[in-house]
Structure formats: structure tokens, C-alpha cells
């Protein structure tokens, strides 16, 4: 079974600074990877996903992530954050169970932007 580790539970940064949120997954022959964001008092929404091809994936709101097969990592980055990026971020890997796709989530990283 797949597993995901998010290495930081909380990341505080100043506004307009760059940020990296780290994610490692267990190895597999082929893998689909996702980053979701949860704004306060809301459900999760997709930021970006890696399926195949280019290892640099661009998502919404200026975020991007790099798939690194040798390091089994899928770190999320943004060059300049805004107050509105304050949220919890979840990395997830796709797994198959009983004939259906399911997602295995990491523990989450709470990103706090300070003015």
C-alpha cells in the first residue's frame, strides 16, 4: 500500500517570501500524485496533479510542484506568497483498492503567512 509523509506540520513565512512544502511518498512502479489545499472552513480543492510527462507541474494560484522519482518526492513551491495563501496543504498519492481508485493523504502542512 502507498504512503505519504509531509515533513513539516507547520510552515510560517513572511508575505512575498518563497515557500516550499515537502512531500515524500512510498515507491511504486507508477504513481499519480496530487496536492490539495484547504482554506479555513472549507473542503479540499485540487491545486495540481502529476500524471506523467514533464516533472514540473504547474497548478492554480501560482503554485508548482516537482516530481522526483529517484528521491520519491513531490515538493510544492511558490516563489512569492500572499496572505490569501494561508491554508492547510495536503499531498496525496493514488492507490488502487477493490477495483477503485482511492487517495492516500499525508498529515497536512499548515502554511501561515505573516505580514
Partner 1 sequence: DVKVTQSSRYLVKRTGEKVFLECVQDMDHENMFWYRQDPGLGLRLIYFSYDVKMKEKGDIPEGYSVSREKKERFSLILESASTNQTSMYLCASSLGGTGSDTQYFGPGTRLTVL
| Contacts to partner 1 by CB under 8 A | 6, 9, 32, 34, 36, 41-46, 49, 51, 90, 94-103, 105-108
**81 vs 92, beta carbon nearer partner 1:** 92
CB 75 → partner 1: shortest distance, Å? 17
| 100: CB partners within 8 A, 6+ apart | none
Task: Tell me how far apart the alpha carbons of residues 1 and 78 are, in angstroms, rounded to a whole number.
Answer: 30
Task: Give 51-58's long-range contacts (Cβ < 8 A, gap of 24+).
Answer: none
**34 vs 74, beta carbon nearer partner 1:** 34
Task: Tell me how far apart the alpha carbons of residues 102 and 94 are, in angstroms, rounded to a whole number.
Answer: 6
CB 41 → partner 1: shortest distance, Å? 8
- Nearest partner of 93 among 37, 51, 39, judged by Cα: 51
CB 18 → partner 1: shortest distance, Å? 25
**71 vs 107, beta carbon nearer partner 1:** 107
Amino acid at each position: 500500500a502507498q504512503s505519504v509523509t509531509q515533513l513539516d506540520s507547520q510552515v510560517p513565512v513572511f508575505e512575498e517570501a518563497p515557500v516550499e512544502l515537502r512531500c515524500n511518498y512510498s515507491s511504486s512502479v507508477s504513481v499519480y500524485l496530487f496536492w490539495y489545499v484547504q482554506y479555513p472552513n472549507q473542503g479540499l480543492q485540487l491545486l495540481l496533479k502529476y500524471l506523467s510527462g514533464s516533472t514540473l507541474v504547474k497548478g492554480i494560484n501560482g503554485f508548482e510542484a516537482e516530481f522526483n522519482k529517484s528521491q520519491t518526492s513531490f515538493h510544492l513551491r511558490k516563489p512569492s506568497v500572499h496572505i490569501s495563501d494561508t491554508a492547510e496543504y495536503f499531498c496525496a498519492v493514488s492507490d488502487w483498492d477493490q477495483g477503485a481508485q482511492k487517495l492516500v493523504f499525508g498529515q497536512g502542512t499548515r502554511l501561515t503567512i505573516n505580514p
